[in-house]
Amino acid sequence: MSNTVLSPAPIFWLNWSNGDQSPLDRGLQVLIILAIGLVTYGLSLTTYRLYFHPLANIPGPKLAACTYWPEIYFDVLLGGQFFRAIDAMHARYGPIVRINPDEVHFDDPDVIDTIFPGTSRRTDKPAVVAKRTGTAESMVATISHDLHRRRRNAVNGFFSTASIRRIEPIMKDHMAKMFLRMEETAGEVIQLHHLFKACTSDVITMYAFGDSFRFLDQPDLGRPYFEATELFFSLTHVFGHFTWAADLIQSLPISLVAILAPSLRELWSKQSWWVDKVNEIRNSPNPERIKSTIFEGILNSSLPGEDKTNSRLAAEAQLVVFAGEGTTAYTLMAAVYELLANPTELHKLREELIQAIPDADEIPSFSQIDNLPYFNAVIQEVIRIHPGVMNRQPRISPDLPIAYHDKATGRDYLLPPGTLTTMSPLTTHMDPKVFVDPYEFLPQRWIDDPKISRAFLGFSRGARSCLGMNLARKEMAIVLGTLFRSQNQDGRECYNGDLLTIGEKDANDYPKGATLTFIVLALVLSVFLSALDITIVATAIPKITDQFHELDKQAWYGSAFFLTSGSFQASWGKAYKYLPLKWTFLSAIMIFEIGSLLCGIAPNSDVLIIGRAVAGVGCAGMGTGGYTIIAFLVEPAKRPTYTGVMGFSYCIASVIGPLVGGAITSNTTWRWCFYINLPVGAVTVLIILLFFRTPPGAKPIAASWREKFFQADLVGVALIMGALVTYSLAMQYGGQLKPWNSSVVIGLLVGFVLILALFVAWEWYSGERAIIVPRLLMQRHIGIGSIFAFFFAGSYYLVIYYLPIYFQIIDGATPIMSGVDTLPLILAATLAVVSAGLFLTKTGLAAPLQLCSAAVGVLGCGLIYTLEIDTSTGKWIGYQILGALGWGAGFQIPIMICQARAAPEDIPSVTAIILFFLNVGGGLLINASGSAFVNRTLAVLPTKAPDIDPSMVITTGATQLHTVFTKDQLPGIIQAYMAGIKVTFAIALAATCISFIVSLLGDWKRLDPESVKEAGGVA
């Protein structure tokens, strides 16, 4: 019977007069009061929004009416996909929908003029939209109707048809330069989006400032700048919900941006150029330029001084340039795509162009193309399908209510003044009631039925319509007219499909320089944390048992981590397939951080074990995500190098883990073994947020939520977790808390077998949706590799966990010295991992290497089993090195074999299967060895130390034996511990022997070295 004194349950009510309360108890009380307050506030706010809000009668999802979180999910986590959710809402609820607590969205062209009225009625913009791009002071983002009109009037004249005609020579000169660049690359694949952006950017900056960046003259066409703008705009969905982030980023000096986000440096330098140009115009006014450049006109307008400050004009410049370069270039790319994809429409267009432009080498003038009906219909149709701005257009009627009659239901709605109303160009443009076959490219529709223009929102409408639409249309007209009119001397189209094709991702499309360095650093840190959390705990376990006095639960400290890590491995693989790569990876880090925090604040073993389990869930996602990101981050030829860097970081963490764990537990508290993860994880999150952009090839597979749920195979996860937990409890109870023949232990073991059988049956039934895909597991090399990984990794982790206990208890080493004593094992394993990777890359001889590594592992593990109380230093160093050479060389072979032979689409599933068995093997064998360790120690104690109560030994911390027991009692206790430790080493030896036998059964075909290069590793 144990003499453990149970600590009282936490007090969950305030009792500040109780002086005996610990800071932890008081902290818990405060957290509970805060939680109750937050829940009360949330329930009250939800009730108001559902039943008492002015928009409570508007149709729409209840969840969207309650909270902004659905919108945040689609915008932030799914990268701006809320517009798809809005379409789904309209399909279900009708033309008027409440899409969030304070916003009503319309899908009815008849209401366009009501939402977007002319100048006669005041319309404001919401403040949050104004801050989305960090340009709240610009004319476009101006909130107040009156202030917007004043700012717009100052530049209105520059975008009239007459003004655009005056800059026709400038536009034609730039177009000629652009087509010259195209001719220089004839016969090659050309990146048109960069070429178009370079041209449109030079045009708008010349018109705005009288000078330009001259991107068309640069060899790279200003690529770094455009990549910076793309990165910035990819964050606008986040800025819409976290406006402080836009303000913070905009306020950073360029020197700091160069360090934190090098990819944005080009944008910041161009912003400085804009300000310099504004000051140049301000300080050197030129009357001749007042009518020829936008900012000369603004500075000489009647606007008051506060509208001519540098900050205000910098924001105006940013909007003018961004709108003038990016959206026009995007629409041009869309036009090229649609015309090449629809040869009938292209042929009809060319016939019209040939008649209007006799000279094929001539860049057409405005007068030649202005009145071409089919040509202008093509442009209109392109903008309909591919509007330059797909975000919903927000308006607020501050003075008057908005009345709406739903023709389908007959219901009338009255929106009070100040209601935020929106419409989306893409939603309206795809309305089949207005546009027949809306997803088809049919320019003729605009000629046959001019009335459909009433539903056109490509440039918005009303008093706040796009100011630059005349400029954009003229640029598109000149480019497309020249591009598709030109012929060479043979009469073949010069700019044919081959030339206009955007090629596969080349080396230039991958991040480089500081951006790549920072992202790789973040991935290395994530792998580092994973490995560190495994090894750092080993040297801390004896100290943890000192505090909690529960030696019988020490196996759970390691196995809980492995069990959840293995169980959720495949589910994370599915998550990276069906959910956004970036945000899924960040979620994994956050789960790991929460688990680490729980471990750090744990008041008892149970909370610590829960924290380890939570951390294991996050760790599984970090590992899978890290190697998945690497696959998209660098070109295939460099992938093995970067995978090796991550594997090396794993090894380094394994090396310093025991040292760090020992140093921390010796000098502070074991809790810092977990707290250390928090700042390192925070740095990783910050780097990924700032630098990593999800590559186009890594976009999640489109699937319904039902399909995503089934693909995650949560039933399979629950079953395998249930099986592993029942097994682990049986190992904990058996021979310690309950006899092995007790109904509880037998019931747990039977439950383990039955649940495991259910798991197997469920996985077989689930097929391709299973976390362990049966089709793959039945393949010989994967099945054998899984068994090998299970036992081989399990034996390694056993030795990792019990060697520090051996050194601290048997040899009396301090925690930090036990870490030093295990260095031979870790260093040799690291060397073997690197050497094995190089050997496989050069030779492809995987099966022979696997067999040899298992044989060396058996020999080394057998020698480690011979360790005794008086084993010399030279022997235990040599034994560790020999065993580590085997473990290190063979650790990553199964995953490299399976990845090298798997089809590309099967690589994530294959990787998840091997990692599943690798982690579950560690967890199950650690649990089994923990039971064997305690049972054997208790069995030997009565003969080696007959005068000592075994329960006292179990409840005494491992490093406190020398202080609790007398010198006469210690020898017998240490002998009993040695007997328990030898049993764990015996289990490790048996596992390596099984690995050796299994390695004989594998596929002995030589691997293609190139396939090995593209395969990743696990360590």
Cα–Cα dist 883/860, whole Å: 4
Candidates 130, 575, 124, 136; CA nearest to 312 is: 136
Cα–Cα dist 913/910, whole Å: 5
CB distance 862 to 989 below 8 Å: yes
Which tokens belong to 553?
Answer: 């639960």
**Residues with Cβ < 8 Å from 313, sequence gap 6 or more?**
275, 278, 295, 298, 299
Binding annotation for heme: 466
Calculate the alpha carbon distances from 934 to 3, 293, 794, 808, 962 in Å: 17, 84, 19, 16, 19
CB distance 829 to 887 below 8 Å: yes
| Beta strands, E only, 660-712 | none
Give SS3 for 297: helix
Radius of gyration of the chain (CA): 34
Q: Is 980 exposed, middle or buried (0-12, 13-18, 19+ CB in 10 A)?
A: buried
Pairing of strands 103-106, 96-100: antiparallel
Cα–Cα dist 446/373, whole Å: 9
Cα–Cα dist 430/385, whole Å: 8
Candidates 134, 395, 364; CA nearest to 264 is: 134
Helix (H) or strand (E) holding 402: strand 402-405
Pairing of strands 420-423, 96-100: unpaired
Cα–Cα dist 609/616, whole Å: 10
Cα–Cα dist 492/344, whole Å: 16
Q: Is 289 exposed, middle or buried (0-12, 13-18, 19+ CB in 10 A)?
A: middle
| Beta strands, E only, 419-548 | 420-423
Phi-psi category of residue 60: left, alpha or beta, with phi > 0 → left and psi -120 to 50 → alpha: left
How many CB atoms within 10 Å of residue 67? Answer: 16
Alpha helices for 324-468 (secondary structure H): 328-341, 343-356, 366-369, 373-385, 425-429, 444-448
Cα–Cα dist 456/383, whole Å: 9
**Residues with Cβ < 8 Å from 903, sequence gap 6 or more?**
none
Longest Cα–Cα distance of the chain, Å, equals 112
Alpha helices for 767-866 (secondary structure H): 774-777, 780-805, 815-821, 823-843, 846-865
Which tokens belong to 723?
Answer: 């099986």
In Å, how far from its chain's centre is CA 309? 39
